[in-house]
């Protein structure tokens, strides 16, 4: 039985995986979809002190508290940073890291280092009335919509789960200084329909563990767990 831990991206919640969970679970897998502190049903906990380190503790704590091992740890978007630092803390619990249209950092990098366009979000948050709140990205005309979602029913559902995040999430650096982390196999899943300025960082030909790079694609927009849940689940099932 494969254990998947699916970690949502910025502004979302664990509910964003609702269409993927039954598809993975139908093959006997265990699937956990934690909501990170300050998002979704925990949005009342959001404050300027909530940052990347908070979310790393959320996920690392889950793996330890549930005594999980051989985990396929999936991070969407911003949570590429989260799963990287989680692997640094508890590498022996993780069988594979999956960067799902995600930020892929090296040691010491912040979100702004990985994706420079994030700097505009940081500056806007610091100059805002709160001084720290980062609202969700604005909705755009099709084909981009809201995080790539354009179907009216899907949009209505997505709007119920998105909420602000703290600027500290984008400012704190990733910790990747544990040599054991380099032994964990990695898979990169890229969504090929992207707005300008959000290009994926190129993946080198060799993983840190010496294996050839493993890069897959989905012909859809950023929130592929909503727009192509069947296809995403199929790719994840093939990894165990």
Check if 77 is active-site.
yes
Residues in Cβ contact with 29 at an 8 Å cutoff, skipping those fewer than 6 apart = 1, 2, 3, 4, 237, 240
Dihedrals φ, ψ of 232, to 5°?
-65, -45
Residues in Cβ contact with 227 at an 8 Å cutoff, skipping those fewer than 6 apart = 148, 149, 151, 154, 220, 221
> β-strand 165-166 against 133-134: which pairing, if any?
antiparallel
* Residue from 13, 16, 29, 77 carrying the catalytic annotation: 77
How far apart CA 191 and CA 220 sit, in angstroms, is 5
Q: Would you name the residues annotated as active-site residues? A: 77
């Amino acid at each position: 039985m494969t254990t998947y831990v699916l970690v949502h991206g910025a502004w979302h919640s664990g509910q964003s995986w609702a269409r993927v969970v039954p598809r993975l679970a139908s093959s006997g897998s265990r699937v956990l979809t934690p909501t990170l502190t300050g998002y979704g049903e925990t949005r009342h906990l959001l404050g300027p002190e909530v940052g990347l380190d908070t979310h790393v503790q959320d996920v690392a704590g889950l793996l330890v508290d549930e005594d999980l091992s051989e985990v396929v740890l999936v991070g969407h978007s911003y949570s590429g940073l989260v799963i990287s630092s989680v692997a640094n803390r508890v590498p022996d619990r993780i069988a594979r890291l999956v960067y799902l249209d995600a930020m892929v950092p090296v040691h010491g990098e912040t979100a702004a280092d990985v994706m420079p366009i994030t700097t505009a979000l940081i500056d806007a948050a610091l100059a805002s009335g709160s001084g720290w709140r980062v609202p969700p990205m604005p909705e755009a005309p099709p084909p981009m919509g809201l995080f790539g979602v354009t179907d009216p029913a899907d949009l209505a559902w997505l709007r119920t789960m998105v909420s602000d995040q703290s600027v500290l999430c984008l400012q704190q650096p990733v910790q990747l200084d544990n040599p054991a982390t380099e032994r964990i196999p990695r898979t990169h899943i890229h969504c090929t329909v992207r707005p300008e300025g959000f290009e994926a960082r190129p993946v080198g030909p060799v993983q840190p563990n010496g294996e050839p790079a493993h890069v897959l694609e989905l012909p859809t927009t950023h929130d592929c767990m909503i727009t192509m849940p069947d296809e995403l689940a199929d790719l994840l099932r093939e990894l165990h």
